[in-house]
Structure 1
Amino acid sequence: MATLTPVSVALPDNKVPTKNAIRDIVATFLTKEWPSVDPETLTTSFHTSFANNHCTVERQKPTGTSTEALKVFMKFHKEAAADMDIFKHLIPTKQEEALFCHEYGRSGLGAKVYGFFKTQDGTLGRVEEFLDARNMEPEDAENALIRADVARGLAMFHVMEPSLAKKAVEPFYEAVMSGLERYHRMDKLKALGKDGGVSVDNLIDYDFTTRLKKVVDKLESVGGKVGWCIHDVQFMNVLVKNDPKEGQSKIVLIDFEFVMRNYRAFDIGGHFMQKMFKWFDEESRIADCRKYTEEEKRHFCEEYARQWNKLTGDSDTGDQVFVESEYGYMLAIAFDVHNMLCFMSEEDDRDPLNLLGLDKLFDEFVDQYARLGLEVP
């Protein structure tokens, strides 16, 4: 269900829902057994993040046969940071996102959407099927079976034909470059870095805009293909099923706030890059692991090309996808750098773990740019 449904619930000022509110929201869509659930018997786990809040909810198993889900997942949308408005004309609305998730789930690739709601205080959210799965870990990318499933999963996602209107790729890069230009040489960000004990002066003074344009031009020159991209391909947005059925994919993709048309290389290269980061770890944002090897990247690209060709009738090679991904690696880094600088600027963030992660992104961009021979004269 992707129709917006008003619910007779108002969240408190801190936006953390009570158990009564949670029960009432879920019962709006699961109407047989959930309305009679005692809210105090619910087991809930609520989490906050910069983008959205989410909650898992489990009720006790009733006596006899149960016809409705015992456990569900809820997402509560938050207002985007002001500077992220530069993407507002490109990203789906919350209702379009809900419809996209509904279509993705209905295809058998993702979680079923039970309902899309609006509370009395204006908060938008979704109630979805809870998936028996865990977040992907960096070491999972070293498992050939999981790696192949991620490759095939991205290919299937990229060639979807959802209800969303197709938009050109160029405005996305115009927005990213405009944002990066705003933060270029910004003294406030340098000061925040110093306060956090990590100098980011070189990053702030680095001309990302000129270099990003060159990367996009090179990708276009090698025939980079376009599809529906997730853009936020951190490993927490790839779920690994705990007990997949035989013949089923081991992975599920989630978190589609930024779904829009882009070079497929963005997600592929971004996936390779994200192996090195654990953005919600409390000890370090940089994962304690090795990078994707070239052999692993090429295996991924072969599996991706095979699935893409199966679905589109194209005859792409793994080598073609690999070349595209080398440029996509930098596209994804530039986007993450922009978003982190936006967060720093809006929230006065000086967390040294975030700063060290940001500095690592910068090093990866500079190294990849040099390795591909793209240095600006």
Structure 2
Amino acid sequence: MATLTPVPVTLPKDKVPTKENVRDIIGTFLTKEWPYVDPETLTMSYNASFANAHCPVERPKPATGTHTETLKVFIKFHHDTLVDFEILKHLAPSKHEEALLSYEYGQSGLGAKVYGFFKTQDGTLGRIDEFLDARNMEPEDVENRVIRADVAKGLAMFHALKTSLEKKAVESYYEAVINGLKKYHKMGKLKALGKEGGVSVDNLVDYDFGTRLRKVVDKLESIRAKAGWCIHDVQFMNVLVKNDPKEGESRVTLIDFEFVMQNYRAIDIGGHFMQKMFKWFDEESRIARCRTYTEEEKRHFCEEYARQWNKLTGDSDTGDQVFLESEYGYMLAITFDIQGMLCFMSEEDDKDSLNLLALNKLFDEFVDQYAKLGLEDP
């Protein structure tokens, strides 16, 4: 069902679908009952985010008899991004490849089933997924040992996933990101935007991330860090916690695969630890009001990850090995976020003080971790 299917629908100019639009899109794939639903009886909400929009849709139960098709689905609409992530375009999956990956992930039993991948007559691409009875993960969730273990196992399974995506060299990613970071090094426009927003980012802009990131990558090479299919954008909004999991089923599932590509698995593991400190869609502060991951919790996570990884690959990795990789991966993940935020800032003239404060927090975390691991020149 990941084949691109044209649908006889034209979205309004503002791209916000009507109830009739979503009924007709869904009815193209779920053909027995959905095409005959009265659009006015549908319950739906439309939520636009940075590059995409999400639309859960529910129809009422039939007045008589039992239904054979699902009552609720999740539609994802792809819109043109506000920021051109040109540096990763040649590495990140196309929308069709992302849909195929999502389909394969769903077929494995790890994620939501994909019902269809579509293109409207106005050119909008989108996907219809199974609706999961779940909520977005909160930073405090990973203080629960069981949920933390499920996230660890979920990442290991994703990293080792067999997919039809083309594997591209890990080094290609770092060549692109380092070149991207160099573009923003000492950029006067970024400093000016910080001042306008009331938060100085001068120290961050003057910091040579590119050279230091190269040193981190060299260190990972020297310890023979393992690679796999990495998500990169592992913010907690991209992990769902199921409300009522079946017995023996994972409590979590991973979503949003726009940036899936080959990389050191450490970028996702270290990134998961780092992301506990942030709530990127909070209206009061992007920095979470909770404690950071403890070393004990990190080591438990890495033990669970190693156990699952070994089960899937036949390797004999230890929790200590995964933990060491994650310590360097922490910085890889920070540079992914900083690159994206500087790109957005530069192209959209963003000077939101909450974003600027979070950017400086990322910078402080990178500097502290770099010093902690003894990478700074004497």
Which residue is 2:12 aligned to?
12
Q: Does 1:270 align with 2:271?
A: yes
Is the 1:211–1:376 contact (alpha carbons within 8 Å) kept by the matching residues of 2?
Answer: no
Which amino acid in the other structure matches residue 54 of structure 1?
H
Alignment of 1:188-337 (within 5 A): 188-337=189-338
Deviation at 1:18, TM superposition (A): 1.1
Is the 1:266–1:325 contact (alpha carbons within 8 Å) kept by the matching residues of 2?
yes
Quick one: distance in 2 between partners of 1:213 and 1:95? 32
Question: Counterpart of 2:180?
Answer: 179
CA distance in 2, matches of 1:200, 1:245: 47
2:60 match: 60
8 Å Cα contact 2:83-2:344 kept in structure 1: no
How far did residue 78 of structure 1 move?
A: 1.7
Residues 110-119 or 43-52, more deviating? 43-52
Partner Cα distance (1:259, 1:176) in 2: 15
Q: Distance in 1 between matches of 2:67 and 2:128?
A: 19
SS of equivalent to 2:46: strand
Counterpart for residue 362 of structure 1: 363
Which whole-Å deviations, capped at 9, do the CAs of 1:136-190 have from their partners, x for residues lacking one?
1111110000000000000011001100011100010111111111111111111
Listed as ranges, the gaps of 5+ residues in structure 2 are: none
Q: Which amino acid in 2 is paired with 1:57? A: V
SS at match of 2:75: strand
1:83 shift after superposition? 3.6
Whether 2:60 is the aligned partner of 1:29: answer no
Counterparts of 1:79-118 in structure 2, within 5 Å, are 79-81=80-82, 83-118=84-119
Are 2:91 and 2:168, in contact at CA under 8 Å, matched by a contact in 1?
A: yes
Equivalent position SS for 2:45: strand
Say whether the 8 Å CA contact 2:83–2:348 is kept in structure 1. Answer: no
Distance of 1:230 and 1:191 partners within structure 2: 32
Counterparts in 2 of 1:51 and 1:82: CA distance versus 1, 3 Å = closer
CA deviation profile, 1:58-79 (whole Å, cap 9, x unmatched): 1111122011111110111122
The one-letter amino acid of 2:373's match is L
Contact 2:142–2:148 under 8 Å retained in 1? yes
2:46 and 2:56 in contact (8 A); partners too: yes
1:75 aligns with 2:81: no
Question: 1 CA distance for matches of 2:117 and 2:153?
Answer: 28
Residues in 1 aligned to 2:191 and 2:48: alpha-carbon distance in whole angstroms: 27
Q: Which amino acid aligns with 1:324?
A: E
Q: How many percent of aligned residue pairs carry the same amino acid?
A: 78
Partner of 1:342: 343
Give the superposed CA RMSD: 0.9
Which amino acid is the alignment partner of residue 26 of structure 2? V
Residue 376 of structure 1 deviates from its aligned partner by 3.2
Q: In structure 2, how many angstroms separate the alpha carbons of the residues matched to 1:85 and 1:6?
A: 27
Q: How many residues align?
A: 377
* Inter-partner Cα distance in structure 1 for 2:282 and 2:83: 26
Deviations 1:16-61 (A, max 9, x none): 1111111110111111111111111111111111121111111111
Secondary structure (helix, strand or coil) at the match of 2:24 reads: helix
Residue pair 2:242, 2:252 contacting (<8 A) in 1 also: yes
Q: Distance in 2 between matches of 1:81 and 1:42?
A: 30
Checking the alignment, whether the CA contact within 8 Å between 2:139 and 2:276 is kept in structure 1 is yes
Give the superposition deviation at 1:348.
1.1
How far off is 1:88 after superposition? 0.9
Q: Deviations over 1:219-278 (max 9, x none)?
A: 111110000001110001000000000000000000001111000000000000000000
Inter-partner Cα distance in structure 1 for 2:13 and 2:360: 35
Cα distance in 2 for partners of 1:121, 1:178 equals: 35
Distance 2:32 2:312 in 1: 39
Change (3 A) 1:81 1:376: farther
CA displacement at 1:80 relative to structure 2: 3.2
- Residues of 1 paired with 2:249 and 2:84: CA distance? 40
Which amino acid letter does the alignment assign opposite residue 20 of structure 1? E
Counterpart of 1:157 in structure 2 is: 158
Residues in 2 aligned to 1:251 and 1:343: alpha-carbon distance in whole angstroms: 30
User: Could you say what secondary structure the match of 1:131 adopts?
Assistant: coil
Measured in 1, the distance between the counterparts of 2:307 and 2:99 equals 30
The alpha-carbon deviation at position 81 of structure 1 amounts to 4.5
**The residue matched to 1:359 in structure 2 has which SS?**
helix
1:347 Cα shift? Answer: 1.2
CA distance in 2, matches of 1:115, 1:316: 38
Find the residue that maps to 2:74 and give its secondary structure.
strand
Are the counterparts in 1 of residues 271 and 334 from structure 2 also a CA contact under 8 Å?
A: yes
Cα distance change on mapping 1:82 and 1:140 into 2, 3 Å: closer
